[in-house]
Structure 1
Amino acid sequence: MRRFLDRLYDAGLWLSAITFGLIAVLVALQIAGRLLDRAARALSLSPPGLTIPSLAEFGAFFFAAAVFLGLAGTLQAGGHVRVKLVTQALPERVARWLGVLVALAAAALAVFATWSSALQALDSYQFDSVSYGVIPIPLAIPQGVMTLGLALFAVALVDAAVTLARGGTPGHLAAEAATEEGN
């Protein structure tokens, strides 16, 4: 099970990286189109007018996908901001159970966010809601990706709580410990 979950979190990170890459490619193509237009004007030629329609919407949807798909993997890598002021002052056993409670509370919030996001995506699908740009993008697609990212995050939080409750070291704590050793 551990291997499956780690691969799931890694897949989310890879998808996140791919969507960031897609943003970079789209922006680079838009810049190249503008440069070609300027060069054509400088040579007294008719500019080709190469643009990417709805670039801002595509970029925003890809950015949202990247952020939400990367939540679980970022948690596992210890990349989320955590305040350890209280837990450092507590005995190890008490700190562990406080960590379990915090992870479960965060998981409950993530499950609620996943549920709400799924309902919104379902509504968008049922009503054929699309974006307002030049290219109408079905809103259920980015909302569905957001829901998937939130669901992965909820799983990662439950995973962390269960690992802590069993006496193990969840990924985010192991990553933090490795970072502290390296400093």
Structure 2
Amino acid sequence: MNEFFTRLDKALERLYVWSGAAAAVFLVLVGVCVLTSIVSRLLDIYVAGINEYSGYAMAASSFLALAHTLREGGHIRVALVRSRLGPTAKLWLEIWCLLVATAMSSYLAYYLVYLAWISWKFEEKSEGAAATLLWWPQSIIAIGSIVFAISVAHGLVRVIVRRDPDAASAAPTELTAE
């Protein structure tokens, strides 16, 4: 059973890296859109929807990067209270915070998936010049939020199993309670 959890841990870590890589691709796409917008204005050429697509790429990049950023310890944490606690209190505080974060991120993921589904069902289009089907960018955002919810829950399981308050963003190793 321990081998299963080790493999699952490593597979999830790969998912977070791939999600981060996809976020980087969308961030490059934002740059391309901005550059295209600048050059097209200089050349007095109209490119329909370039601002829309830039916004969609930025939202996709932001949501896809959440899980990888959590794993790398890049999210802002207020460590003042945490640093003054003993090991047991620190562990319980981390568990409580991760429980709340798991609930909130799961709630967000559920409703972003629901939003994309509604947009798909009613074939909603953006009001901009490109008239993009909204479920396309919303689906990417929903995927990012799902991966983030999984990563928060994964961090919670790691903290509980390892009994280590810093395990949520630690490197993947065997899930053993030491």
TM-score normalised according to structure 2 size? 0.85
Among 151, 156, 159, which residue is 2:154 paired with? 159
Could you tell me whether the CA contact under 8 Å between 1:9 and 1:73 is conserved in 2?
yes
For residues 69-91 of structure 1, what are the alpha-carbon distances to aligned partners after superposition, in whole Å with 9 as ceiling and x for unaligned?
00000011111101122221111
- Which residue number in structure 2 is paired with residue 33 of structure 1? 40
Q: Secondary structure at the match of 1:111?
A: helix
1:128 matched to 2:116? The reply is: no
- Which residue number in structure 1 is paired with residue 175 of structure 2? none
- Which residue number in structure 2 is paired with residue 2 of structure 1? 9
1:103 matched to 2:110? The reply is: no
Q: What's the RMSD between the two structures over aligned residues?
A: 1.5
Structure 2 letter corresponding to 1:121: A
Deviation at 1:171, TM superposition (A): 5.0
- Which residue number in structure 2 is paired with residue 172 of structure 1? 169
Could you tell me whether the CA contact under 8 Å between 1:77 and 1:171 is conserved in 2?
no
Structure 2 letter corresponding to 1:113: L
Distance 2:34 2:45 in 1: 12
Q: Which runs of 5+ in 2 are unaligned?
A: 1-7, 172-178
Structure 2 letter corresponding to 1:147: A
Among 62, 67, 91, which residue is 1:67 paired with? 62
Q: Secondary structure at the match of 1:166?
A: helix
Structure 2 CA distance for partners of 1:72 and 1:100, relative to 1, 3 Å: same
1:21 matched to 2:28? The reply is: yes
Distance 1:173 1:51 in 2: 48
- Which residue number in structure 1 is paired with residue 71 of structure 2? 76
Pairs aligned (count): 162
Structure 1 letter corresponding to 2:15: L
Deviation at 1:63, TM superposition (A): 0.5
Q: Secondary structure at the match of 2:11?
A: helix
Distance 1:113 1:105 in 2: 12
Could you tell me whether the CA contact under 8 Å between 2:159 and 2:168 is conserved in 1?
no
Distance 1:164 1:16 in 2: 26
